């Protein structure tokens, strides 16, 4: 039989417990993510990430978004996951110290192994900490009462994760203790200097590894910043001289508005398809780990608030209602100038106006309609907007059942305003008489959120090279929410002169418009600029603005070389 472990110092106990806690914490974190992905259970990283995103000052959020783009939330997730594993390590180290200090019962045998009861007690402490301290601090309520998962499901999932962590911690601690005993028994001949040398080498290896990791992270961030990667951008705004030309000749409105001219159309390589496939349709959500997976058989829609006859509706009942179809484009408020967070689809669903009519009379004083989602997201629209005939609860997309990533079983469509208002995974519609501020509005984003007119050059691409004297096309898309597009103009000389592009007749008044212009360029360097005008005569705004808080503006500019 192996001898008992010699009396260990506090630092040795702390290191042994922390290592066991770290390893057990990594496995417990993986389990938590799997439960979140497959069963919709609570995810502590998701709760913390959501709280951080809402609490970030807008200038900081803007900088991170401009630097890292859509990957910003992935980096945040990685940081939170590392932090969670380190917290597990801390709990493990402290537990190993407190076992000896409290000396309650037979918690450790003479060989140094811990009793599995310690693991269950540790799980209970973590369960209380998560439910009574951590989740309330993130705004999720006691045991996640404010989350869509509910308090009971949160309590169960936290208990499962905690028990797995506690038992794994004991197993790994005892295994590491056994290895330490073996190493101690086989290394009696080693000198103290040799042991110290090994410890120094290990510390040096860890320190160097952390330095390399830190430099690598900084390098990736710097590369993305320098290369302009992020936000799905396909280029940028004009340089200083071009911007001066654009602002100098800027005319805010044309009266009377120009009439659209739809000419013969050529299929141009590189131009966005008129209808975006479900797989290619852009997707943005607040969720760091996973979007909710809702089962139609279990789903129900509540319509209540300032109405005379609140009701609940099942998915089957929703499908039985009369539906209509409409082509509609959507754009995310975080879309940069020339960005890709803009798509077009054919939607089918039920008018929100009809759903509200089924709830009886809307009480006097009601001002807004609040939409609640299965992932605890919420937002609101003004009652007048909710009663417009094109505001729809969509259940199909491009002829197919609404995909999970786009809001199955039902999502809102609100033409004319940014995508954050088009709430996905809707579970409740509430008419209110207050100025309800949604998830992003609480952090300063626009509440009315009207779409700013935008235009984008799809081809040629940013920094591209094309052949001189060869017939080519400049082509792209233009969008103005529900105001339509009357004309698109192209400048090849930095805004000094403009040429009209050919428009393709849009599928509806709610969609983007595809445009193209034939070009046979001479050799040289060009800065191609695009601008649009809507059906009311409003001209696209050339003033450069970042997405925060009202959506981006400016003219998409693409430099190219012709040789």
DSSP string, 468-502: TT--EEEEEEEE-TTS---EEEEESBTTSS-EEPE
> Which ranges in 302-432 belong to alpha helices (H)?
315-319, 352-357, 383-386
CB–CB of 447/469 below 8 Å? no
pLDDT at 176: 86
Say if residue 474 is exposed, middle or buried (CB neighbours under 10 Å; 0-12, 13-18, 19+): buried
What is the pLDDT at residue 57? 77
* DSSP classification of residue 257: P
Query: Is 319 within 8 Å of 325 (Cβ atoms)?
Result: no
Q: What is the pLDDT of residue 233?
A: 44
Token pair listed for 459: 């081809």
Which has the closest alpha carbon to 482: 506, 457, 458, 446? 506
Query: How far is the C-alpha of 563 from the C-alpha of 559, rounded, in Å?
Result: 14
Cα–Cα distance for residue pair 423/407, rounded to 1 Å: 8
Quick check: helix, strand or coil at residue 114? strand
Per-residue model confidence (pLDDT) at position 139: 84
Longest dimension (CA), the chain: 97
* Euclidean distance between CA atoms 338 and 334, whole angstroms: 12
Task: Give the per-residue pLDDT at 459.
Answer: 95
Q: Up-side HSE of residue 234: CA atoms within 13 Å toward CB?
A: 22
pLDDT < 70 stretches in the chain: 1-8, 66, 69-70, 103-105, 110-111, 181-238
Write down the pLDDT at residue 149. 79
Please list, residue by residue across 214-233, b when 16 or more beta carbons sit within 10 angstroms of its beta carbon and e when fewer do: eeeeeeeeeebeeeebbbbb
* Measured distance CA(354)–CA(391) in Å, rounded: 10
Give the per-residue pLDDT at 50.
82
Calpha distance 541→252 (Å, rounded): 7
Is the separation of the CB atoms in 350 and 320 below 8 Å? no
Give the whole-angstrom CA distance, residue 504 versus residue 527. Answer: 24
Element (H, E) at 304: strand 300-305
The pLDDT value given to residue 230: 37
- What's the confidence (pLDDT) of residue 232? 41
Task: Give the list of residues 6+ apart from residue 517 with CB closer than 8 angstroms, or none.
Answer: 473, 474, 475, 490, 499, 500, 501, 502
DSSP 420: G
């Amino acid at each position: 039989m192996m001898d008992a472990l010699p009396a260990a110092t506090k630092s040795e106990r702390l290191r042994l417990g922390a290592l066991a806690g770290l390893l057990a914490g990594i496995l417990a974190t993986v389990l938590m993510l799997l439960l979140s992905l497959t069963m919709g259970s609570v995810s502590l990283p998701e709760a913390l990430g959501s709280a951080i995103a809402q609490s970030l000052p807008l200038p900081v959020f803007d900088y991170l978004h401009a630097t890292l783009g859509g990957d910003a939330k992935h980096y945040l997730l990685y940081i939170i996951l590392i932090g969670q594993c380190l917290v597990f390590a801390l709990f493990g180290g402290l537990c190993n110290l407190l076992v000896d200090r409290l000396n309650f019962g037979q918690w450790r045998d003479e060989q140094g192994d811990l009793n599995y009861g310690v693991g269950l007690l540790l799980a209970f402490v973590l369960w209380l900490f998560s439910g009574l301290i951590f989740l309330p601090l993130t705004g999720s309520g006691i045991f996640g009462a404010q989350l869509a998962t509910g308090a009971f499901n949160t309590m169960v999932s936290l208990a499962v994760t905690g028990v797995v962590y506690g038992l794994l911690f004991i197993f790994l601690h005892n295994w590491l203790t056994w290895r330490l005993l073996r190493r101690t028994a086989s290394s009696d001949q080693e000198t103290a200097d040799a042991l110290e040398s090994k410890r120094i080498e290990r510390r040096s290896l860890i320190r160097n590894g952390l330095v390399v990791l830190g430099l690598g992270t900084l390098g990736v961030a710097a590369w993305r910043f320098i290369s302009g990667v992020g936000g799905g951008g396909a280029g940028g705004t004009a340089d200083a001289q071009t911007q001066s030309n654009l602002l100098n000749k800027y005319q805010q409105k044309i009266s009377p508005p120009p009439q659209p001219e739809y000419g013969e159309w050529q299929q141009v390589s590189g131009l966005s398809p008129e209808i975006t496939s479900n797989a290619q349709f852009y997707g943005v959500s607040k969720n760091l780990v996973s979007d909710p997976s809702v089962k139609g058989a279990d789903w129900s829609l509540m319509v209540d608030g300032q109405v005379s006859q609140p009701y609940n509706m099942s998915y089957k009942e929703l499908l039985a209602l009369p539906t209509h179809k409409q082509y509609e484009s959507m754009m995310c408020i975080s879309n940069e100038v020339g960005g890709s967070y803009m798509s077009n689809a054919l939607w089918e669903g039920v008018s929100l106006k009809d759903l509200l009519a089924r709830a009886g009379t809307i009480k006097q004083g009601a001002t807004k309609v609040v939409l609640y989602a299965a992932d605890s997201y919420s937002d609101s629209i003004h009652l007048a907007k909710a009663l417009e005939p094109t505001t729809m609860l969509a259940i199909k997309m491009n002829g197919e059942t609404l995909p999970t990533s786009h809001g199955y079983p039902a999502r809102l469509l609100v033409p004319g305003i940014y995508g954050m208002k088009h709430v996905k995974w809707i579970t409740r519609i509430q008419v209110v008489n207050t100025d309800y501020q949604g998830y992003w509005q609480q952090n300063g984003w626009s509440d009315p959120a009207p779409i700013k007119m935008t235009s984008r050059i799809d081809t040629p691409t940013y920094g591209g090279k094309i052949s001189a004297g060869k017939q080519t096309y400049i082509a792209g898309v233009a969008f103005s929410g529900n105001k339509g597009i009357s004309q698109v103009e192209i400048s090849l000389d930095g805004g000094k002169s403009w040429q009209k592009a050919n428009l393709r007749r849009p599928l509806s008044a709610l969609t983007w418009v595809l445009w193209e212009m034939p070009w046979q360029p001479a050799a040289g360097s060009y800065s191609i600029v695009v601008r649009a005008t809507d059906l009311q005569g409003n001209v696209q705004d050339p003033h450069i603005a970042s997405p925060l808080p009202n959506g981006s503006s400016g003219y998409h500019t693409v430099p190219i070389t012709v040789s």
